Structure 1
């Protein structure tokens, strides 16, 4: 059982991205990081994974959130109750809006291919090239057929492009009907409902837990972490982070391959660094 009396002064919650931040480049959690997360929970800190990953990719790591058993997935579109194995909050793009956004993006940015994440799974157009092996149950079909339910994330790819280079065109095409971000160095853009970010859902969760933003320490590495890094009372970008994340964060941690998050947690628990 955690002991709040052991928590470092001014800290109640650790919010961390996964890929490029908590996980090493090979996608694993190091033994040192596993221990640091367990020590944080034992000291009374809530540990929340805040990831762009869909539920099916995040669930394999849920054992390490501990405590209240909550995780934020799909860039804030889903707050998942790990213990109850159900959604506690869904912040999706409604079907008609998703259809309008997809059509507008395709018209404004030629060569884009679309895919959708829903609570029930993943669907992609025939020519969409996924960045990872498809999981069982993934559907291929026309965009209009795939959008048969509220969409957690609308995924946009333009092969041969880099997300930084065409993101502004996609933002303009959405006309305020979606939040546009990205979490890779490739061409993938990730669209959520208006106002839905890692930060806005983390803020809702913290309000439920009675945690002030000043008591939150956050870690991230990519543009989809920017809002969270700016919102948290103390934020760290990884040394391997996108330049925008480095500019948004208060501090810089060691790289993900150097156990940067674990190092900071260890320092917090030892009282070697202050927050705020």
Structure 2
């Protein structure tokens, strides 16, 4: 990258957001400065479903677009509607589930759809708790009923196993169904996210950037988990967070500060010369790799 970036793409949890799951005042000020002073949009590119975004829409900025469900959705924030979706087809989804059940008995499934959340009857709250449900009441039914002809399209299939090692489970499922769908992982538990084949944060970001007339070389990105690797590999320059997964650190060009210490904001402030907001922008030895 030889010129100043024209677009910033950032993951949310473990990356842009603090430990409280919110955008800090410092980070918000940097995002506003990029939009208003430099005309550089900041696009949220998250594994979160739309139903988990309500409290964050005010931080999206004037461009009003976000990528949710690991690339499964481009969301029009101003109109609060899905602008584009890249769903799994029912036959592929059912084939994926059958293979996973055969390879790892005890696997359970849930769906993020265009209208909310749906899950099998045995998909119970995770041991030790977890995030409370948000959005409309979940639809509960056997998997074949959840993907019937009149069911909402599924943009992300979730596979879970409460006794499996998280990383082993992810890698096993990638081996078992990677020829049918895109398999990734961004959780602390054995909760694997499955999208339509070829759909990643990178592919949907590429679609959005093409519409905006922005080349990959003019995009910078931030992430912390394996679902961010395609995006970090696609952009012109990328940062892994200081506490990122090793695969992410290996894929990125540099390492930013911790997410709970405004690492993204500090890096962007230094990159764009935003006076008063810069900090420890890059923690990799000798600067960017």
Given that 2:255 and 2:288 are in contact with CA atoms closer than 8 Å, whether structure 1 keeps it comes out as no
State the shift of 1:175 in Å: 5.1
1:33, 1:230 → 2: CA distance?
24
State the shift of 1:163 in Å: 2.5
Query: After the TM superposition, which segments of 4 or more aligned residues of structure 1 sit over 6 Å from their partners?
Result: 271-276
2:25, 2:114 → 1: CA distance?
31
Q: Structure 1 residue aligned with 2:122, among 124, 127, 135? A: 127
1:129-144 equivalences in 2 (<5 Å): 129-130=124-125, 131-135=130-134, 136-144=136-144
Deviates further, 116-125 or 169-178: 169-178
Q: Structure 1 residue aligned with 2:166, among 163, 166, 179? A: 163
Q: Structure 2 residue aligned with 1:204, among 181, 204, 207? A: 207
Q: Structure 1's 10 and 275: CA in aligned 2 closer, same or farther, altered over 3 A?
A: farther
Could you list the runs of 5+ residues in structure 1 that have no partner in the other structure?
1-7
Q: Structure 1 residue aligned with 2:91, among 71, 86, 96? A: 96
State the shift of 1:162 in Å: 2.8
1:225, 1:255 → 2: CA distance?
16
1:57-76 equivalences in 2 (<5 Å): 57-76=52-71
Q: Per-residue displacement from partner, 1:137-162 (whole Å, max 9, x unpaired)?
A: 11222111222332100000010223
Given that 2:73 and 2:86 are in contact with CA atoms closer than 8 Å, whether structure 1 keeps it comes out as yes
TM-score computed with the length of structure 2 as normaliser: 0.88
Structure 2 partner of 1:3: none
Deviates further, 189-198 or 127-136: 127-136
Q: Structure 1 residue aligned with 2:12, among 18, 25, 28? A: 18
Q: Structure 1 residue aligned with 2:240, among 197, 219, 237? A: 237
Q: Per-residue displacement from partner, 1:173-231 (whole Å, max 9, x unpaired)?
A: 32511100011121100000000000010001000000011110100000000000111
1:240-255 equivalences in 2 (<5 Å): 240-255=243-258
Structure 2 partner of 1:46: 41
State the shift of 1:264 in Å: 0.9
Structure 2 partner of 1:145: 145
State the shift of 1:103 in Å: 1.8
Could you list the runs of 5+ residues in structure 2 that have no partner in the other structure?
282-286
Q: Structure 1 residue aligned with 2:50, among 45, 55, 76? A: 55
2:204, 2:7 → 1: CA distance?
14
The 3-state SS of whatever aligns with 1:116 is: strand
Deviates further, 238-247 or 93-102: 93-102
1:203, 1:63 → 2: CA distance?
24
The 3-state SS of whatever aligns with 1:218 is: strand
Given that 1:11 and 1:275 are in contact with CA atoms closer than 8 Å, whether structure 2 keeps it comes out as no
Q: Structure 1's 175 and 212: CA in aligned 2 closer, same or farther, altered over 3 A?
A: closer
2:57, 2:242 → 1: CA distance?
25
The 3-state SS of whatever aligns with 1:152 is: strand
Length, aligned pairs only: 269
